[in-house]
Amino acid sequence: MPWFVLYTKSRSEKLAAEKLRQKGIEVYCPLRKVKRKWSDRIKMVEEPLFRSYCFVNLEEHLRSTVFGVPGVVGYLHWLKKPAIVKQREIDLIKTMLNDFDHDSLEIIDFSASDRLRITSGAFMDQEGEVLATQGKKIFVRLESLNICVSVDMSKNKVEKVKKPKRYY
């Protein structure tokens, strides 16, 4: 069964996921733990990794069963068809969130348009283009997954990919 991408109302991802589970639908709402500061305290909270999106695993003919669930708006479409996410991509997201700590990554001497290969961590063996760096974070476009990620480099090793020489 394919994983479809559901679009939800703003800040309704967790509620929609819970209601879908109650209906017996397999749903995945990736959550990340972040520190939030209030005037009197700092607290760890879980927030959706992808705002306004959840993933549902169901067969094509059962897609209409999600409508009527509070918070669900509809399906995300790509090229006029419902967007589908592969199981290995869902597994990669789960691995990244469950197994790896990305709190303090640091990049030295990378600039926009550099090519890099991640040699450890959740995105091991992935190559991408550096979009920007900001402090200890690097923003990388991973072409094979068609996503952009912000990575804290303290737990991952990366290496520059040398551009081939051009002879004119």
pLDDT digits (tens, 9 = 90+) for 28-55: 998 888 788 889 999 988 888 888 999 9
Helices (H), the chain: 13-22, 87-99
Record the pTM: 0.60
Residue 110's pLDDT is what?
67
The residue ranges of the chain whose pLDDT is under 70 are 99-110, 135-136, 152-155, 163-168
Looking at residue 48, what is its pLDDT? 87
Cα-based distances in Å from 95 to 17, 116, 119, 122, 155: 20, 21, 16, 6, 14
Q: CATH homologous superfamily for 3-99?
A: NusG, N-terminal domain (3.30.70.940)
CA angle 73, 139, 50 (to 5 degrees): 15
Contact 145, 86 (CB under 8 A): no
Q: Which residues of 90-107 are buried (b: 16+ CB within 10 A; e: fewer)?
A: eeebeebeeebebeebeb
Whole-number Å distance between alpha carbons of 72 and 53: 9
What are the residue ranges spanned by the domains of the chain?
A: 3-99, 115-160
Q: What is the pLDDT of residue 32?
A: 81
Q: How far apart are CA 21 and CA 31, in angstroms?
A: 16
Q: Which two tokens stand for residue 164?
A: 């081939």
Angstrom distance (rounded) from CA 43 to CA 100? 21
Type of residue at 68:
G
Instruction: Report the C-alpha gap between 16 and 54 in whole angstroms.
Output: 8
How many C-beta atoms surround the C-beta of residue 140 within 10 A?
27
